Structure 1
């Protein structure tokens, strides 16, 4: 069934076609799982060793990052309460600052999703190799990476219900073993293993900043529920709660597992470790089965993250396409899922994966991974700025005056956190990310010229969502 609607004004859509209404399947548990699953990818299995050279002061960086992520989560919750529609940051930026800001937000976030998927797939192959040796053959390695990307894509193409079930199961399967290891580590905790508070030559502030730069990528995904608000039941109530609950749960798991590994693996060994969870499990329980167990957990974690990011990769282009800012093919839905967005995203991620393996230059791919930190912060910055605009504009339908000061301080904290994310991504990543953003200007010019030529204003539904 198809219907056509037009919206003469620029504001975001608040109408929900019957087909889209029928496809909503996400309640609070699945929405929370989506946030957790996207924040917790594969990085958690490497984080303790990555920050160990800075000493236990790196735990302070965890705390600072968590506070910033919570501030951002609360801002997204407030914005989603006012704009409970698919698109998240795109919707907020466009409502506040117009079509071009909305397009840059959608374009930047889209880049983040498919580059992240390529990175996750390549990392997952490393853990798969522990279970099924594939690195001996380049063809087998590439095939495994592509399979790990296309399986979550097929789950998404099966519909939002299937994607939600996969996300919930993956989150539970990775959360419980990690929590078990974290809690178990507390029983084997030995403070003598912690090492110095500040292990390097940096100042305390420098050590915290350096640790935070490593940890930044691991906190991306806080916006997940807001981006998929159109697929969440009762989004005004559930998006904000899912965002905060998912961020808190992920931060708690990050901190607890890191403390446990710090306390079970001697500092000198941890600094040189390439598999800190394996070392921790082996020291806690003995034997050499830790590597296999950790590999299984990492694979489950990454497949869940790939499933969630694949869903998000289609939602923002879908919202932009409905407003005439992306090609209209991205606005077509089947079983609640924008099929073109999923297929184009997984195709781009697959090409990038193949390029990474055939080029044989890990440095290029590492820069692209850091680019995702930068490109993700563009929507964060614009969303925080949009909330500040709504608060200071004095519009009674958006401002809760008794909470105005508190919300303003919270928004400024989220904006500052986003700027810190940009700084932490590094000069090379910012340079590459800006090039990606400017490439999108050509796409915007093409779409704007097309609207001018056809007389279609931005905001008109160029295509109809399909059940």
Structure 2
């Protein structure tokens, strides 16, 4: 053997270098903004103002924590569940500030997928997009399952009958198919197919109903508040507060939904940051108010983990079924708005990924009459409806939390990176004390992720592995950055 000959592995091949550069290529911010709205066959229509955008984020957020998982969090923290809500809200706030800056700088439909693509490259952008599919798609299914609980509560209080378990619970929970969960997903789909403006109006009306229902709960349940129910305040200590905060983080998922409307906002640079921050503030105040009244009206030991906890408190306090039925009616409307807003966000993220060529182009086809991605909406609704009909709620919520936390973590990093690469880019909002606050947002996300169980991490790892397989078999070859005349972002800062 000639030891003086060069080894075939002594230096990387040109092909390997090209493949690495393809994984890290970034999509220029200027091009992202220039392409905004363009789909296969048409434009998304800019028709949404700041209050409609705020309602989208509130619609995607408010409802899940209070109407669905409060009963699961109180046994973990006791009366200190209000502190858990604040802690979970702070975890979300730092990331919300980062979302606000990026939404005002890159006002397109892709949310954190697009932000990561522009700052850290195509591979990480794909990973975040894949996480968002988990976040939004599974959120729709999980919330739809909770909607069925309140529908049964409403039917029981009005007509004295409920949907049989075989048709209102998924396999594994004593049923065959969760028909109500499928129904609410199909209803949201029908509203979205009518157009962004029309669905935003329907969402705003439902948001008004849900806020009214929660304020009504506070007014009525406050008559049953007993000071003794607040002592001991933290019976399970700091560990219990932290455990409940991790559970309740699921209830804040959705504040970023306004960022998915970047191409349908009339004044995105100004209105998107306002909508994101304002929605989170409104939601946090309502969550803490309702939680404080709930644990004051009912001893924390009596919370059983049922998804219909608030309706039970109303009946316990008043001794009359009327109030619990009225609250159940508000919850049915409220949770339907979560499904609508989150399903909307999912279709817009897939729209952006499709326009970039990373998933099939069918998701970016815009209907000429309604200005919506009709085919993508139908496909997403079919997927989410099937998931809601056959998968139990608990594990869905955990899987959604870890995907969201991972996306939030990289959004906090993206703010810092974009400040360095595009320091003079127009911004509708700037995170104060950067990079300190983005670093805190990143730290909170990592800390909360660490508190999730091993099974959730395993599911997340399998999901990411599947996503990488899809990217390397399809996305990397079909990326629009492969096309002539479409260069990746340069490294120098933009002027």
**Could you say which TM-score interval applies, normalised by the shorter chain?**
0.7 to 0.9
CA contact (8 A) 2:26 2:121 kept: no
Label 1:148 to 1:412 Cα distance change in 2 as closer, same or farther (>3 A). Answer: same
Question: CA-to-partner distance for each residue in 1:277-317, whole Å, 9 max, x for gaps?
Answer: 22432344331223322321221111100100110111111
Q: Output aligned runs, 1:151-300, within 5 Å.
A: 151-200=187-236, 204-270=237-303, 275-300=308-333
Label 1:266 to 1:93 Cα distance change in 2 as closer, same or farther (>3 A). Answer: same
Instruction: Name the counterpart of 1:463.
Output: none
Label 1:332 to 1:293 Cα distance change in 2 as closer, same or farther (>3 A). Answer: same
Matches of 1:171 and 1:159, distance apart in 2: 18
Matches of 2:200 and 2:409, distance apart in 1: 28
Matches of 2:259 and 2:479, distance apart in 1: 31
1:33 aligns with 2:52: no
Instruction: Name the counterpart of 2:372.
Output: 337
Matches of 1:445 and 1:374, distance apart in 2: 23
Kindly state the Cα deviation for residue 455 of structure 1 after the two structures are TM-superposed: 5.5
1:386 aligns with 2:414: yes
Could you say which structure has the larger radius of gyration?
2
CA contact (8 A) 2:115 2:414 kept: yes
CA contact (8 A) 1:55 1:198 kept: yes
Secondary structure, aligned partner of 1:277: helix
Q: Output aligned runs, 1:44-443, within 5 Å.
A: 44-53=66-75, 54-132=77-155, 133-138=162-167, 142-200=178-236, 204-270=237-303, 275-334=308-367, 335-356=370-391, 362=392, 366-391=394-419, 393=420, 395-398=422-425, 406-443=433-470
CA contact (8 A) 1:74 1:244 kept: yes
CA contact (8 A) 1:324 1:459 kept: no
Question: CA-to-partner distance for each residue in 1:383-420, whole Å, 9 max, x for gaps?
Answer: 111112223x26431599xx787021111121122213
Secondary structure, aligned partner of 1:289: helix
Question: Which has the larger displacement, 265-274 or 24-33?
Answer: 265-274
Kindly state the Cα deviation for residue 271 of structure 1 after the two structures are TM-superposed: 5.5
Q: CA RMSD, aligned part only?
A: 2.8
Instruction: Name the counterpart of 2:45.
Output: 23
Matches of 1:344 and 1:210, distance apart in 2: 36
Q: What TM-score results when the alignment is normalised by the length of structure 1?
A: 0.86
Q: What TM-score results when the alignment is normalised by the length of structure 2?
A: 0.82
Matches of 1:366 and 1:163, distance apart in 2: 29
Question: CA-to-partner distance for each residue in 1:325-377, whole Å, 9 max, x for gaps?
Answer: 12111111122322232222111122223433xxxxx4xx5323311111112
Q: Number of paired residues?
A: 440
Matches of 1:218 and 1:292, distance apart in 2: 23
Label 1:266 to 1:348 Cα distance change in 2 as closer, same or farther (>3 A). Answer: same
Instruction: Name the counterpart of 2:3.
Output: none
Kindly state the Cα deviation for residue 134 of structure 1 after the two structures are TM-superposed: 1.1
Matches of 1:58 and 1:69, distance apart in 2: 16
Secondary structure, aligned partner of 1:213: helix
Matches of 1:447 and 1:458, distance apart in 2: 21
Kindly state the Cα deviation for residue 264 of structure 1 after the two structures are TM-superposed: 1.6
Label 1:61 to 1:131 Cα distance change in 2 as closer, same or farther (>3 A). Answer: closer
Label 1:20 to 1:33 Cα distance change in 2 as closer, same or farther (>3 A). Answer: farther
Matches of 2:167 and 2:201, distance apart in 1: 33
Secondary structure, aligned partner of 2:33: coil
Matches of 2:297 and 2:101, distance apart in 1: 41
Instruction: Name the counterpart of 2:472.
Output: 445
